[in-house]
Structure 1
């Protein structure tokens, strides 16, 4: 696999906020919130599926000069406390990103849509993510590339958008299919055949209100404060 688009090229990430509803079998089963502020990508996600509700929270701090990640803090409901990963020249490759930073890698790929963007994708819950990477693989284990031009993308409530299809692969498996509109915004993501994320339009406050509407107090509290119940 060739290196494709260089990790260090392109503009630095700008601040943003985005809300998504998670849908399975035409039914909302969760919500995801992502924001970039002060060089930190915050992600909170909740999926209400059997056998238990899945909650996860990630904070990835980036180097403001290079956009390489420096520190990752991750916790889900299976962990008593957050796990901390530090990136340095010994432990993790420069061109790497924890999986909850996938949105940033898609943004990099969109910058050079004609090329394949490659990197090392790290799993926050794997044992390897907590151990030094002494002998790095010869080539990155993940890539993102545009695989289709603009086409009609149906979304809930009967609305149709025009978007381009990007595929994200890691360790030889298709991880996700992302749909990107003409403004270079990720408007939908498919994980497998059933779980789909749809970006909620509007300002951050409007999208947040729509995303959390009708959900119980516990969900709203987690999406607002994460595992810090004291806010």
Structure 2
């Protein structure tokens, strides 16, 4: 089983903060909340993925974003994936597997929580993995805002033939930075969770703080 953790990330685009990402793994449940400033209304999403206490396989996924009136729920027993699988909002758990064994790619079926096909019983289930995470190349010099430069290993995450994320991991096997696409980057906020949370939410409006701390129930 993966070890419990709690982390905050600041999302940056064009050297400007555009959002916040929070993830907490506790009691076999991974909670994720993300808010991104986009247009007139910020994008908000919340995910809970429950893991099997006897392994690191997922059992249940609960997902909702701003486009939904209610959450979508997936159950592994009814999804019946033929190979290793994980909802996309739990990609960090697959990354942790790759970090523990960097010599071997981690391959799995990456499930899109917002896609209609996974909720349609008439759509055939995938027979082969569609996602892969692996370490690529030697350590790189990575600039960190307000933190200078550190040496980090690069891990690439591919899904359906596309590079969906690039992760950088420090010498202590800690995720320090993730880039999605070409212009959105998440930087891990250092310090204890309470301090990191305060720094991540500092200066944000009341609605944003409410969502990031209480989700859609705020």
TM-score, scaled relative to structure 2:
0.96
Equivalent residue, structure 2, for 1:147: 136
Residues 9-54 of structure 1: per-residue CA shift (max 9 Å, x gap): xxx1111000000000000000000000000000000001214210
Mapping of 1:53-132 within 5 angstroms?
Answer: 53-88=42-77, 91-132=80-121
Q: Is the 8 A contact 2:85 2:111 kept in 1?
A: yes
Residues 87-144 of structure 1: per-residue CA shift (max 9 Å, x gap): 1165334510010001001001111101111000000111112134874434200000
Give the unaligned 5+ runs of structure 1.
1-11
Give the unaligned 5+ runs of structure 2.
none
Residues 178-228 of structure 1: per-residue CA shift (max 9 Å, x gap): 001111111110001000000001100010011001111111100010001
The whole-number CA distance in structure 2 between the counterparts of 1:150 and 1:86 is 38
Alignment size in residue pairs:
218
Q: Is the 8 A contact 1:42 1:58 kept in 2?
A: yes
Q: Is the 8 A contact 2:28 2:50 kept in 1?
A: yes
TM-score, scaled relative to structure 1:
0.90
Deviates more, 1:75-84 or 1:147-156: 147-156
Residues 140-180 of structure 1: per-residue CA shift (max 9 Å, x gap): 00000000221110021252121100000000000000001
Residues 65-102 of structure 1: per-residue CA shift (max 9 Å, x gap): 11110000000000001111101165334510010001
